[in-house]
Chains A and B, each alone.
Chain A
């Protein structure tokens, strides 16, 4: 249960080279959004774009494949996509909204759907929730520190950021540079340390790189809607899959990291409670 409830676990990637080129890993989030848009399952999606091209993400509403691709690729700072849903519903007037969010945001959305105190006529418009694996998130100043102070590169020159195999990596105009993840510890935002969800347990479909080979993503289908959309994307040839048992490192690594996050957050919550610092009340 460290991965939450899921129907199927797979390794997968988008078959379209246009998606592969811009995607972080297998391009699953982009492919699913594009497919959902084309099928009319959603009218628009709230995605983490990079409007100023400076790695500071901000929610954008994408209503076609080009806009989805523009926002492809992971940004390692906070994009308040839950807030973006307001723009999608009120400014864009969308009746069917999808979004790609990290686990804490998934919790916010699911809470808003269950207890919509002031959030009127939003919950039922959310038709697709893609969750991405997330260990922690960094303020922009932390990313700046990694890039400028630790790797001697201006953020402006960074083409891609990636975390994997124990390293924080940047691709810049003059090549690839990395620092061990150990050096990034302590630079994450503090709220992440009490989060126990690595794999977005309340999504329709969760996806992320961990468990799959380079260029592929691990996918967990969770709700019936999630299964239907993913199956349909595979059926039309937009996504290709491999059994997760046949890839390295596979689910054991994902489970290890998910459990690690749960254990760590439990310890941190106990530590804070001892100090008299309030932590989320769970019902």
Chain B
């Protein structure tokens, strides 16, 4: 499963993929071997992305029930030891003072073909960037970093939370091996910083902004207002999720996907 994507991502590491293939057909798997096995790990985040994954069954029931097997995840699966996974969704940033989180993250990397930074906290730290420790019950826990600082991440889905539609689109694209759709998320995998300032630095300062307002539509906290045809950032409201610049059509534009979707 996902061999095409894995191949595209890792290039010369193809033998590894061949090794992993038999794992899929291990008898301990009760479900159909053709369905991708998806795991879910929750590190330091608010659970919003997990809720986004699970709460909207009207969109996701087909995806979750028929297209994939969820094999690991607190509250999702009754299993304590981490199984081999085709895809592991990791929510939340990782706390450097929390040995358990680091161990779980490392183990997930070892046992998953693909690791997806799921939600902005995992991708770039999001609001956990503001953490400074000194709080009960673990005053020593003060450093929360994007997971890509510790492990190789294959694709990233920023969002605070990621929308259910985006999760569904991505899981479907993964099961179909649709590289065209996944490429932007793959290219976002190494992004470790993000905030409303990105609009100033990357878009407006580079003469790309046309004042369309997509960034302000994407902003989860209404930190962005549109004033005189430009996004105006209220720093105090910005949670550094990076959704504004990720959504900006002048940062990147999925021309082929749009043409396919609209038939235009």
A interface list, Cβ under 8 A from B: 4-5, 56, 59, 77-78, 80-86, 101-102, 104-105, 107-124, 137, 139-140, 189-195, 201-202, 222-223, 272, 277-283
Q: What would 5 more interface pairs be, CB under 8 Å, given A80-B226, A115-B184, A120-B52?
A: A4-B264, A82-B212, A104-B212, A120-B165, A283-B183
Q: For A279, give the chain B residue with the smallest CB separation.
A: B208
Q: Is B147 an interface residue (CB 8 A)?
A: no
* CB–CB A283/B261 < 8 A: no
- Shortest C-beta distance, B178 to chain A (Å), equals 12
A-contacting residues of B (Cβ < 8 Å)? 52, 157-166, 169, 180, 183-184, 187, 202, 206-214, 216-220, 226, 228-229, 241, 243, 246-258, 261-264
CB-based contact B163/A80 at 8 Å: no
Known: A123-B165, A191-B207. A83 touches B250 (CB 8 A): no
* Whole-angstrom CA separation of A191 from B210 in the bound complex: 5
Residues from chain A with a CB closer than 8 A to the CB of B252 are 280-283
Residues of the B chain whose Cβ atoms lie less than 8 Å from the Cβ of A201: 264
Ordered by A's residue number, 28 sampled pairs between the chains whose C-beta atoms are within 8 Å are A5-B263, A59-B213, A77-B229, A78-B210, A80-B229, A82-B216, A83-B214, A102-B212, A107-B258, A111-B214, A115-B184, A115-B257, A116-B165, A117-B166, A117-B243, A118-B158, A118-B160, A118-B220, A120-B52, A121-B163, A137-B211, A140-B228, A195-B210, A277-B206, A278-B202, A282-B255, A283-B180, A283-B253
Contact status A118-B159, CB under 8 Å:
yes
Contact B247 A84 (CB under 8 A): no
Chain B residue nearest to A129 in the complex (CB): B262
Bound together, the chains give a CA A118 to CA B220 distance in angstroms of 7
Top 10 nearest A-B pairs (CB, nearest first) are A80-B213, A78-B229, A83-B213, A108-B214, A120-B163, A78-B211, A118-B243, A80-B226, A82-B213, A191-B210
* B261:A111 contact, CB within 8 angstroms: no
* A78-B229, A283-B183 known; A117+B258 contact, CB < 8 A: no
CA distance A83 to B254 in the complex (A): 20
Given A118-B220, A190-B207, A280-B249: A84 touches B213 (CB 8 Å cut-off): yes
Name the distance in Å between A7's Cβ and chain B's nearest Cβ. 10
CB pair A189–B229 under 8 Å, yes or no, is yes
Whole-angstrom distance between the alpha carbons of A24 and B118 in the complex?
Answer: 47
Residues of B within 8 A of A272 (CB): 207
Contact B264 A191 (CB under 8 A): no
Max chain B C-beta neighbours (<10 A), residue from A59, A102, A107, A140? A107
Residues of B within 8 A of A124 (CB): 165
Tell me which of B164, B211, B257 has the highest count of chain A C-beta atoms within 10 A of its own C-beta.
Answer: B211
Instruction: Tell me which residues across on chain A come within 8 A of B184, comparing CB atoms.
Output: 115, 283
B213 to chain A, nearest CB (A): 3
Q: Residues of A contacting B257 with CB < 8 Å?
A: 114-115, 283
List the A residue with the shortest CB-CB distance to B183. A283
For the complex, give the distance between the alpha carbons of A84 and B209 in Å.
17
Known contacts A118-B162, A139-B228; A282 and B157 CB within 8 A of each other: no
